[in-house]
Amino acid sequence: MQFEPVIRTDRSGRKILLRSAEPEDAAALLRYLKETARETRFLLREPEEINLTLEQEMRFIESIRDSERDLMLLAFCDGRHIGNCSLMSFGGKSRLRHRCEVAIALYMEFCGCGIGRLMLETVLAEAKRLGFEQAELTVAAENPRAIALYESLGFAEYARLPKQAKYRDGSYSDSLWMMKQL
């Protein structure tokens, strides 16, 4: 789906444009996926596992733009793409229509300025407007900033899933399954 662009202000007074992704954003999004995968261990993929072609990424963006209940919300600061927050339905199954999943990541240099909160508030309001009844997410158990943000927005932990990621050094991390009633 498409989202009417809005401008919000982050904690340091910068204007942050929020809008839905367009196919022309594909190159910036591939760069973002690789770079954020490099910057944090809290995302699912290693940087070299981001190997979609530009055309595949463009088609993916189009499929989300043309869907009725999925949204890829992008944030921009001074014209620069700085992060994404997505809203995903569970497809067309009627028994799952009340549920959606959210996911978010910003470039590291834009973390800690309230932009994650702005984006999630926006996406959760859209989810409610679209008729979803609950928003769900999984988060690495050792990601205190993300967990603090989710809890402050009303998400609660319902399950701890052991060993959901294994890193190259042989260590594991658990995930938390969190949910918020909309």
Ligand X SMILES: CC(C)(COP(=O)(O)OP(=O)(O)OC[C@H]1O[C@@H](n2cnc3c(N)ncnc32)[C@H](O)[C@@H]1OP(=O)(O)O)[C@@H](O)C(=O)NCCC(=O)NCCS
Please give the residue ranges that form the binding site for ligand X (CB under 6 A). Answer: 40, 42, 104-106, 111-117, 139, 143-146, 148-149, 152
105, containing H or E segment:
strand 99-106
Closest CB 143 distance from ligand X, rounded Å: 5
Closest to ligand X by CB, 3 or 32: 32
- Cβ at position 43, least distance to ligand X in Å: 6
Closer of 35 and 62 to ligand X (Cβ): 35
Which residue in 144, 142, 146 sits closest to 171, CA to CA? 142
Structure tokens at 65: 């733009």
Residue placing its CB nearer to ligand X in the complex, 61 or 119? 119
| Closest CB 92 distance from ligand X, rounded Å | 26
Whose CB is nearest to ligand X? 116
Nearer to ligand X, 117 or 128 (CB): 117
User: Which residue is it, tokens 């240099």?
Assistant: 109
Give the burial string for 115-129 (b: 16+ CB within 10 Å, else e).
bbbbbbebbbebbee
